[in-house]
Every structure is written in structure tokens, then in C-alpha cells.
Structure 1
Amino acid sequence: MDRPQRVEPGPGQESVWDYPRPPRLEPVPERLRVVFAGQVVAETTAGWRVLETSHPPVYYFPPADIRPGVLQPAPGQSWCEWKGRAAYWTLALDGHTAPEAAWSYPEPVPAFRPIAGHLAFYAGRVDSCWVGEEQARPQPGGFYGGWVTSRVTGPFKGEPGTRGW
């Protein structure tokens, strides 16, 4: 399949087609936030983002910046060719449950050691996710966990017809 046509970024935007492969890990100094069951369950100014070609950024939260007691280990695991074995987490709060709403890399490969034990959240499985004061949308398709904001242009992996990318 041919590489899709890159959307030219405007001022203050990044194209996901300029992100590297293998992915790059970067600190995120601005506030990241996750809301579930009407409450903030994760909030940090010490997050990380993973940038990978064709994907919107995936944001990772330090465990200390996640509300205690809201995450329970979920069954199953997966393998990322870049980061290693992923574990999944179910979010539960006030009678609301979101199975496999988050994931982590307990022992990532050396290049991603800074995010060992940090958690990323699927934007489509919680009430809302925020980068600064902007609400993010889920990466299309439901399989990948990137957060789409006005700061990134696509097209994005996960949209219809992108399986062969």
C-alpha cells in the first residue's frame, strides 16, 4: 500500500508523518489530565509522550500522579516491537468500570526505561483526556491509544483503510 498523503501542518502544528520510526520518547512539561466518572483520576506536569510515524502522540503518566485505588490489573498482555511487553489496567470508580482503559510497560526496552511503570490511557474509554486546556480525541479505530489534538495533523493510523500502513 502506498504511503498516504501527509497533511501539511499549520503554525503550531506537527505532522505525525514527521515523527520517527522507531518512535521517540519526550518529556511533556504541560499539564495532562484524565477524567473518568466525572472525576480527575490522573493529572501531571511530569508526563511523557511517545511519537511514532503516522500516530498521534501517546501520553504517559507517572504512577504517583494517578489517583490511588482506581486501577486494577486486567488480564492479558501484548507486545510492542519498540517498547516490549505491555500490561493492561481496568479503571474503576464509584460503580463505573472501564475495562483495559490503561496500559503500561513494567519493564520496557532500554530506550523507553523512563516510562517503566507509567500509564497511558485510551481517550475513548474515559470521559475526557486533556493536553493543557485542550480536550483530546481518541486516535481513530479504537486499537491504538494516541490522543488527537489541534496540534497534530494526519492522516492517522487507525482510520479506515490504514491497516496496511
Structure 2
Amino acid sequence: MSAPKESVWEYPRPPAVEPVAEHVRVEYAGRVVADTRSAFRVLETSHPPVYYLPPDVVPAGLLRPSARRTLCEWKGQAAYWDLVAGGRISREAAWSYPRPLPGYEAIAGFVAFHPSRVDRCLVDGETVVAQPGGFYGGWITSRVTGPFKGAAGTAGW
């Protein structure tokens, strides 16, 4: 029996953080760059979930710090990472919150990957579809329904 569908419009604001035991995998340049059953999902109104993976599941040397920083009103300042593997570089393919704001301490240092900037992300064997647009990094699976924020014309949602 499949899991019930989740509408992203029923996700809370401010966002919720929940641990998941799903098998989460990220692939890039012909290799597995992250693989875990110990991730967190961040659930925010109008967005597909973002998966945050423990930093120790990413092999050393694959993530190179980027100068980019952004600010989330809920989670705080995000630091970005370039992914370097197999002679390829994916700029700002990942981000983390080194010192998140109160309520988001569980994801401190955990790494989120932007599905459109890697070759493939999977949740329990299902290939993820990237959230529309280039800014947000939500992971769309058959488990979630939209519409999703991120596409042209949705900035004011």
C-alpha cells in the first residue's frame, strides 16, 4: 500500500522539521555523493520537501565552499557548496545552515542538495523531480501534490 498523498498547501508556516527513515540518495558524475536513512525533511507551505542529509554521508573532498550566502527568515543564513566530482563542478549544488535559528537546530551542518544541480536524487528508489525555478531546492516525489511555488509568476504566493 502506498503512502497517502501530502498537499504542500497543508505544510506549516513557519516550516516544520521532521526526521525521516526513508532511503535518500544523491548521484553526480557517475558516483554516489550521499546515501543515508538518517535525513530530515523541512516542510513549508507551498514547497515540496527539502531533504537535509548528515554531512558525514558525503565523502570528503566532494563539497567545496562557495562565497554565496542567503538568508531565510526561519532558518537563518545559508552557506552554499560547489560539488566537485569526476572532473565536473556543479556550482552551488548544495547548501547548509551552519548556525540555524532556534527551532531548526536539528539541521545544523546538514547538507541539502538542489535536485536540478546533480544528476539524480532518489527517495526510497524513486527519482525526484526538482522544484520549478532555480532558487528553491524542493524534492518532488509521487508522495506530494502542488501546485508548487518556484515557477514563473509564483513569487507572490
Same fold (TM over 0.5): yes
RMSD over equivalenced CA pairs, Å: 1.1
| TM-score for the superposition, normalised by structure 2 | 0.97
Q: In structure 1, how many angstroms separate the alpha carbons of the residues matched to 2:123 and 2:156?
A: 29
Equivalent in the alignment of 2:45: 53
Alignment of 1:52-131 (within 5 A): 52-131=44-123
1:5 maps to which residue? Answer: none
- For the residue of structure 2 that corresponds to 1:110, the secondary structure is coil
- Separation of aligned partners in 2, 1:24 and 1:94: 35
- Corresponding residue SS for 1:12: coil
Q: Which residue matches 1:157?
A: 149
Q: CA offsets per residue over residues 15-45 of structure 1, 9 Å max, x none?
A: 0000000000000101100000011000110
Looking at structure 1, the residues matched to 90 and 111 of structure 2 have their Cα atoms a distance apart, in angstroms, of 15
Match of 2:6 among 3, 14, 17: 14
Find the aligned partners of 1:158 and 1:71 in 2 and give their Cα distance. Answer: 25
For the Cα contact (< 8 Å) 2:52–2:112, is it kept in 1?
yes
Is 1:31 paired with 2:31? no
Distance in 2, matches of 1:31 and 1:125, equals 20
In the TM superposition, what is the alpha-carbon distance from 1:85 to its structure 2 partner? 0.4
- Measured after TM superposition, the shift of residue 11 of structure 1 is 6.5
| Secondary structure, aligned partner of 1:64 | helix
Q: Give the percent of matched residue pairs that are identical in Structure 1 and Structure 2.
A: 59
- Aligned partner of 2:6: which letter? E
TM-score normalised by L of structure 1: 0.92
Take 1:36 and 1:132, find their aligned partners in 2: how far apart are those partners?
A: 18
Deviations 1:91-150 (Å, cap 9, x if unpaired)?
001211001000000000120101100000000000000011100010001110000011
Specify every segment of 5 or more residues in structure 1 that has no aligned partner in the other structure, as ranges. Answer: 1-9
- Give 4+ residue runs of structure 1 displaced > 2 Å after superposition: none
Q: What are the ranges of 5 or more consecutive residues in structure 2 without an aligned counterpart?
A: none
Whichever residue aligns with residue 75 of structure 2, its letter is K
Partner Cα separation in structure 2 for residue 30 and residue 94 of structure 1? 27
User: Counterparts of 2:144 and 2:86 in 1: how far apart (Å)?
Assistant: 34
